[in-house]
A and B are shown apart, each in its own frame.
Chain A
Amino acid sequence: MLAYLVKRVFQAIAVMFAISLIGFAIQDNLGDPLRELVGQSVSEEVRQQLRDELGLNDSFMTQYLRFAGNALQGDLGTSYFFKEPALDVILKKLPATLELVMGATLIIVGLSVPLGVYTAIKPNAILSRIIMGVSIIGISIPVFLTAILMIFVFSVEYGWFPSFGRGEVVHVFGSWDTNFLSADGWMHILLPSVALASIMLPLFVRLIRAEMMEVLQSEYVKYAKAKGIRPFRIYFVHALKNTLLPVITVGGVQIGTMVAYTILTETVFQWPGMGFMFLEAVNRVDTPLIVAYLIVVGFIFVVTNTIVDLIYGLVNPTVNLARMGA
């Protein structure tokens, strides 16, 4: 187990190193920090002097090491637009995005298990066919279109829900304001969460259904039935436990994917999160902020994937850790 852990962490560090190289290459080639600092009206001589002082004439290696050293200490540069440390800007926007992901996750977890189990137990029931039909339509509608559709129906036509922003938030601590503690906050987060969940929910329903159907064919389920255990107990205690393993793995990877989809939902709902901020940074060519976003998102992906792999190794007794480790 220890060898596996070390190897997995080592791989994560290697990937973060590659991401930081990409981030630095972007920083090096995109925009001119000097122009952001002093504008156009400075003579060439002063420019050269400033370049020397800022270390912009150093070799690629020296500059990268400086960049990586600063990054390790949490300094990812200063945003040109906000005039604040880029990492602070992102961390301020992070809670909004995380709450969106949390809302969507609640919907997905709450609905996918009962729907998946039901469609697996009664594959030919009319309701199952409807669920499966809706799920393939759900997969075929892009997130942003679901979001637009919901805004059009629930905000423009009926006016039940607000169409943009976070509404009234309650301060928790630090830079974390939450939507979950006020009625207005709930109203604002509902549509974006449903939109974000709409693309993942069908995937999970189908995954749970497929895994469940396979497990229901297995010997131990037949034995449990023969033994006379109540069906409810067989489905939810014996069978479901064994379907959850692949679901956890896929789920962990999908959390990262969901961060990408938040960019789309946040754009449609003008949700003041990281994704919305990133697109604005791109439009303003705010290089430090773009690079910082790349590194933070890369970090989220690497950490979730590493944790999911480790959990998988721990939970699944059939994974041969010795073989995977060394």
Chain B
Amino acid sequence: MSSLSTNPEPSRLSKAWNSNMAYSFRRNPVAVVSLAIFLIITVMSLLSPLIAPFDPYDPAQIDIMNSEYPPIWVDGSDAQFMLGTDDQGRDLWSTILYGTRLSLLIGLCAVGLQAFLGISIGLISGYVGGRVDSLLMRLADIQLSFSTLMVAIIFLAVTQAMFGSETFNQYAVYFLIAVIGVAEWPQYARTVRATVLAEKKKEYVDSARVLGFGPLRIMVRHILPNSLSPIFVISTVQVANAIISEASLSFLGLGMPPSQPSLGSLISSGFDYIFSGSWWITAIPGVVLVVLVLVINLLGDWMRDILNPKLYKG
């Protein structure tokens, strides 16, 4: 028996390292750089309470007298504020770190909600079929025909007017996650449904049914793992879109309040000062936002090229 173990089963890690996907990833400099930048931004924003020199949420550390200092490479700056300060006298570097964390958090949670709703509905729709299917897909059509941004703007505007801005600001994070999360479920539902329809006919599903497994188990344990690659591709694009949506909503004053700024609300508060020459309050968070979204989109593009079987052949 011991002769069998001379060639041990490769570990999960080395299997992943030697897979097709990892190989093409290593060969693609754009993807490598994008992932590296994405990880750097994510880790730094997660560690913001540790690495930020100031706490933008602590009023004791904010002095209005410090407002609108330019970044250190511009004349008239203050050495303790590396990227300058915003209109309220907050250190821009610290505020950007905290703001990026907030933007990422909202983007990821919103996409998590989209994925949960969309995958559940897509699985049910594809697996059950019939009237349920046509009703759910008709709903998806209607939901898709309204732009997410429009739905979100109207929903948030009405909510804000209804609860007053104080209560709204307190729960703004949850409102944003909920509205971006709910508005985009059809993206997932349609794709998952299409793959379920294709997978459902295969023999492994029949055999699972013959073995007496329930529909829930077949859907989640058997069909879902085989529909993962389109889900990955959609997810990257959706995270990028969710971050842009959050920034746009916050820019309009319908998202995060200036007291706990995300990247969008930081850009928005800087916009009032752009005519007086304080470009950095808008420009620096803007650059961070664009770089963050861009690397996610580049990763998404790469993943689509790799995972899409249509492109894989040609």
The interface of chain A, by Cβ under 8 A from chain B, is 11, 15, 26, 29-31, 136-137, 139-145, 148-149, 151-152, 156, 163, 217, 253, 256-257, 259-261, 263-264, 267-268, 278-279, 282, 285, 287, 290, 293-294, 297-298, 301-302, 305
Q: Let me know if A136 and B294 touch, CB within 8 A.
A: yes
Q: Are A278 and B157 in contact (CB under 8 A)?
A: yes
Whether the Cβ atoms of B282 and A148 lie closer than 8 Å is: yes
Distance in angstroms from B136 CB to nearest chain A CB is 15
Partner of A142, one of B146, B161, B248, B253: B248
Q: A140-B293, A142-B244, A148-B274 are in contact. Are A282 and B147 (CB under 8 A)?
A: no
Query: B113-140: which have CB < 8 Å to A?
Result: 138
Q: Which secondary structure dominates chain A's binding surface? A: helix
A-B contact pairs, 5 of them (CB 8 A): A136-B297, A263-B149, A263-B252, A282-B254, A293-B154
Query: Which of A31, A143, A287 sits near B248, CB closer than 8 Å?
Result: A143
Q: B282: shortest Cβ distance to chain A, in Å?
A: 6
Contact check, A137 vs B162: say whether CB atoms are below 8 A apart: no
Q: Assess whether A290 is in contact with B150, with CB atoms less than 8 Å apart.
A: no
B301 near A: Cβ within 8 Å?
yes
The complex places the Cα of A259 from the Cα of B254 at a distance, in Å, of: 17
- Bound-state Cα–Cα, A285 to B297, Å: 38
Please state if B297 and A305 are interface contacts (CB–CB under 8 Å).
no
Given A142-B244, A142-B248, residue A260 in contact with residue B297 (CB < 8 A)? no
Number of A-B contacts (CB under 8 A): 106
Q: How far is the CB of B41 from chain A (nearest CB, A)?
A: 14
Contact surface of B with A, Cβ cutoff 8 Å = 138, 142, 144-147, 149-150, 153-154, 157-158, 160-162, 240, 244, 247-248, 251-254, 264, 267, 271, 274-275, 279, 282-283, 286, 289-290, 293-294, 297-298, 301, 314
Measured between beta carbons, the chain A residues less than 8 angstroms from B283 are 152
For A15, the closest partner residue in chain B by CB is B142
Contact A144 B267, beta carbon cutoff 8 Å: yes
B248 & A144 in contact (Cβ 8 Å cutoff): yes
Task: Knowing A140-B297, A143-B248 are in contact, say whether A261-B158 is a contact too (CB < 8 A).
Answer: no
- A206 to B, closest residue via Cβ: B301
Q: In the complex, what's the smallest C-beta–C-beta distance from B145 to chain A, in angstroms?
A: 4
Pick the contact of A264: B161, B252, B297 (CB < 8 A).
Answer: B252
User: Quick check: A282 and B161 within 8 Å, CB to CB?
Assistant: yes
User: What is the CA–CA distance of A11 and B137 in the complex, to the nearest angstrom?
Assistant: 13
| Residues of chain A lying within 8 A (CB to CB) of residue B294 | 136-137, 140
7 closest cross-chain pairs (CB), A and B:
A260-B150, A257-B147, A140-B294, A260-B149, A140-B293, A282-B157, A305-B145
> A145 contacts B150, CB within 8 Å?
no
Instruction: List, in ascending order, chain A residues with CB within 8 A of B142's CB.
Output: 11, 15
What residues on A are CB-neighbors of B162 within 8 Å? 29-30
Known: A148-B267, A148-B271, A279-B252. A139 touches B297 (CB 8 A): yes
Known A-B contacts A279-B252, A301-B146; A263 and B153 likewise in contact (beta carbons under 8 Å): yes
Known: A140-B294, A141-B290, A253-B145. A260 touches B301 (CB 8 A): no
A145 touches B290 (CB 8 A): yes
| Contact, CB under 8 Å: A285 / B147 | no
CA distance A297 to B150 in the complex (A): 9
B150 in contact with A30 (CB, 8 Å): no
A256 lies within 8 A of B244 (CB)? no
B279 A152 Cβ-Cβ under 8 A:
yes
Query: How far, in whole Å, are A287 and B293 apart by their CA atoms in the complex?
Result: 36
Q: Are the C-beta atoms of B161 and A285 separated by less than 8 Å?
A: yes
Q: Which residues of B contact A11 (CB under 8 A)?
A: 138, 142
Q: How far is the CB of B146 from chain A (nearest CB, A)?
A: 6
Q: Is the CB of A26 within 8 A of B158?
A: yes
Among residues of B, the one whose C-beta sits closest to the C-beta of A279 is B252
Q: Give the residues in chain B near A144, CB-CB below 8 Å.
A: 247-248, 251, 267
Whether the pair B154, A294 counts as a contact (CB closer than 8 A) is yes
CB distance from B142 to the nearest CB of A (A): 6
B contact residues around A15 at 8 Å (CB): 142
Complex: how many Å from CA A149 to CA B157?
26
When the two chains form their complex, are residues B160 and A282 in contact, meaning their CB atoms are under 8 A apart? yes
Q: How far is the CA of A148 from the CA of B267 in the complex (A)?
A: 9
The chain A residue sitting closest to B300, CB to CB, is A136
Kindly provide the distance from the CB of B284 to the nearest chain A CB, expressed in whole angstroms. Answer: 12
With A253-B144, A264-B252 already in contact, 16 other A-B pairs whose C-beta atoms are closer than 8 Å: A15-B142, A31-B161, A137-B290, A139-B297, A140-B244, A143-B248, A148-B267, A148-B282, A148-B286, A151-B274, A256-B146, A279-B253, A282-B254, A297-B150, A298-B146, A301-B146
CB of A158 to closest CB in B, whole Å: 14
Alpha-carbon distance between A297 and B142 when the two chains are bound, in angstroms: 14
B158 and A30 form a contact (CB under 8 A): yes
Measured in the bound complex, the distance between the Cα atoms of B153 and A261 in whole Å is 10
In the assembled complex, the CB of B294 is this many whole angstroms from the nearest CB of chain A, namely 4
Complex Cα distance, B254 from A15, in Å, reads 26
Q: B157's contact among A31, A264, A290, by CB below 8 Å, is which?
A: A290
Q: In the bound complex, what is the Cα–Cα distance between A142 and B287 (angstroms)?
A: 11
Candidate in A142, A163, A263, A287 with the most chain B CB atoms within 10 angstroms: A142
B276 vs chain A, min Cβ distance (A): 10
When distances are taken between beta carbons in the complex, the residues of chain A under 8 Å from B158 are 26, 30, 290
How far, in angstroms, from A305 to B275 measured CA to CA in the complex? 40
Is B252 touching A267 in the complex (CB atoms < 8 A)?
yes
Closest residue of chain B to A139 (Cβ to Cβ) is B297
